[in-house]
Amino acid sequence: MSDPDSIGIHVCNSHEAELHVVLYRGGWADVDYMASIDDAGVIPAPAMTSAQVFGALLDTCVARVFGLHVTIE
């Protein structure tokens, strides 16, 4: 039986923008992105206290990196 400490999400588009989000069991997330050759780095993430907080983080990051607002229900 597996007991993972983290899960990662990698989102990219045809314009080479990328978003990497790793959610850790301990309640934090690491977010790295590259929106363009001149716009890349780390996005600060609050403590992940609920699924709703994580969902809001993903919405914010997708909007920041890809210029979209996506809501998944």
The answer for residues whose C-beta is within 8 angstroms of residue 69's C-beta and 6 or more apart is 59, 62, 63
Instruction: Give the Cα separation of 72 and 57 in Å (integer).
Output: 12
**Structure confidence at residue 32 (pLDDT):** 97
Residue 71 lies in a domain: no
| pLDDT value of position 71 | 53
Average pLDDT over residues 5-11: 94
This prediction's pTM = 0.83
Q: Residue 73 domain-assigned?
A: no
pLDDT digits (tens, 9 = 90+) for 14-69: 888 999 999 999 999 999 999 988 999 999 999 999 999 999 999 999 999 998 65
Residue 1 lies in a domain: no
Per-residue model confidence (pLDDT) at position 14: 81
Q: Is residue 72 part of a domain?
A: no
Is the Cβ–Cβ distance between 17 and 36 less than 8 Å? yes
Q: How many CB atoms lie within 10 A of CB 57?
A: 19
Q: Give how many domains the chain has, as a whole number.
A: 1
Expressed as residue numbers, the domain containing 24 is 6-66
Helix H or strand E encompassing 63: helix 51-66
Helix or strand or coil: residue 16? coil
Establish if 11 belongs to a structural domain.
Answer: yes
Task: Note whether residue 22 is domain-resident.
Answer: yes
